[in-house]
Amino acid sequence: MPSQIRMAPPYCRAMRILVLQGHPRASFSIAQKALSAATRQVEGVTARDLYALYPDFNIDVATEQKLLLEHDLIVFQHPFYWYSSPAIIKEWEDLVLDFGWAYGPGGTHLHGKHLMSVLTTGGPETAYDEQGRNRFPIDALLAPFNQTAHRCGMAYLKPLVVFESRLIGSDALVERVEIYRNLLEGFATGRNDPRKHLAKNYRLPEGYTRKHGS
Ligand SMILES: Cc1cc2nc3c(=O)[nH]c(=O)nc-3n(C[C@H](O)[C@H](O)[C@H](O)COP(=O)(O)O)c2cc1C
């Protein structure tokens, strides 16, 4: 018997990643288009363009729920619109995260999974400050996503934000896209431990710790 048994890290296995993209004017996109290209470079990522799939907002709830069951990390990737997401992401949440399935009695299907927001903004980082023109830090504006993850027993990961995405220039954009690609690859291979990427001050919900330990 070895005198010391090496403990495996609490959660560090390859994650299957589902990226839900929502850009209502994809043909005019620069920043989101670049981020979407990165998702295609990582094995183990399923990327879905929600506006292309559901131009009439007729979201196929059964298909979306089946996909959620098949993945460990869900990414909402979208431009920041009026301090939130474009409408299809909200519609997706309203229909897919159903009572008795995602929360409430018997609503345990998402327990132990992970949610991350990947955003592009028009405004610079300095605007997202009490003294700035947008008055609130981006983390505060993302509270509904953070709390939705918590209510569904998921870990909410630190958001990846490309600030001032139309003005930063192509070199800086390429740099941010590479950070995204590398992050996804780290999660897809198990190199990244999601617990080390939790959003600031995020307290893991019981549904998550019951699955993975606290
Ligand atoms: C309807 C609309 C609302 C927007 N709201 C915001 C916002 O609240 N905050 C912000 O920083 N940028 C806002 N923007 C700017 C977009 O976030 C930005 O143009 C986009 O992320 C750039 O990505 P793209 O090149 O993929 O279109 C808004 C743009 C539009 C068209």
* pLDDT, tens digit, 9 for 90 and up, residues 73-101: 999 999 999 999 999 999 999 999 999 99
Residue nearest to atom 31 of ligand 1 (CA): 81
Cβ neighbours of residue 116 closer than 8 Å, sequence gap 6 or more: 73, 74, 75, 76, 156, 157, 158, 159, 160, 197
C-beta 124 within 6 A of ligand 1: no
* pLDDT value for 3: 46
The best mutation among 80, 118, 170 to test binding of ligand 1, ranked by most ligand atoms within 8 Å of the C-beta, falls on 80
pTM: 0.95
C-beta 121 within 6 A of ligand 1: yes
Ligand 1: nearest atom to the Cα of 35: 26
Under the banding of pLDDT at 50, 70 and 90, the label for residue 1 is very low
C-beta 165 within 6 A of ligand 1: yes
Would you say residue 29 has pLDDT above 90?
A: yes
Q: Which domains does the chain have, with CATH numbers?
A: 17-212 (3.40.50.360)
* pLDDT value for 183: 98
* pLDDT value for 8: 47
The structure tokens listed for 153 are 């027993």
Please tell me the distance between residue 79's alpha carbon and the centre of ligand 1 in angstroms: 5
C-beta 203 within 6 A of ligand 1: no
The best mutation among 23, 77, 82, 138 to test binding of ligand 1, ranked by most ligand atoms within 8 Å of the C-beta, falls on 82
* pLDDT value for 123: 98
Q: What is the pLDDT of residues 138-186, one digit of tens each?
A: 999 999 999 999 999 999 999 999 999 999 999 999 999 999 999 999 9
Under the banding of pLDDT at 50, 70 and 90, the label for residue 4 is low
Rounded to an integer, what distance in angstroms lies between the CA atom of residue 48 and that of residue 27?
Answer: 16
Cβ neighbours of residue 189 closer than 8 Å, sequence gap 6 or more: 14, 44
